[in-house]
Amino acid sequence: MKAEPEAVVLYARVSTKKQADAGNLERQMERLRAYAREKGYRVVAEYSDVASGLNQNRRGLERVLKSAERGEFRKLLIEYPDRLARFGYAYLERHLKHCGVEIEITSQKEPEDAHTELVRDLLAIVTSFSARLYGVKGGRKIRRGFRELIRDAEEAGER
């Protein structure tokens, strides 16, 4: 199956349920819809996830990849590269290009809460490695400390 040139898929992601409940996911998707309308693209599917950009098991992302592999669209619209993946973006971009899909980034400026999200993801990585190094009990203690740091970073970002 060969998709028409203006066939696009929209992909949006937020890290937390709190962000989704606050409407951030829907607003992100609406901005992508508006961009597609402005460009004259035909949206063939919309996918989204409420998960960390580090999480490799995202249902929406998996659906994007399967649809690309079936040749159902030509462009993937995302707001920022980290919406697709915090790390490994280049691998996803290469795979999609191999499937005949171009990624189109719709925004040039990162949102205000991107810093807090990045801090949360980096702390998740450190926590994971700490738990491996110091065992589960040590990992719990470190995780508790990192939760406090995350909470402090989120409060600072809200000011």
Can you read off the two tokens belonging to residue 122? 């980096």
- Integer CA distances (angstroms), 82 to 1, 8, 27, 55, 60, in order: 29, 19, 17, 12, 15
In SS3 terms, 91-148 reads as HHHHHHHHCCCEEEECCCCCCCCHHHHHHHHHHHHHHHHHHHHHHHHHHHHHHHHHHH
Pick from 43, 86, 91: which is nearest to 65 by CA?
91
Catalytic residue IDs = 15
Can you read off the two tokens belonging to residue 86? 């915090």
- Integer CA distances (angstroms), 10 to 24, 42, 61, 74, 91, in order: 15, 10, 11, 11, 19
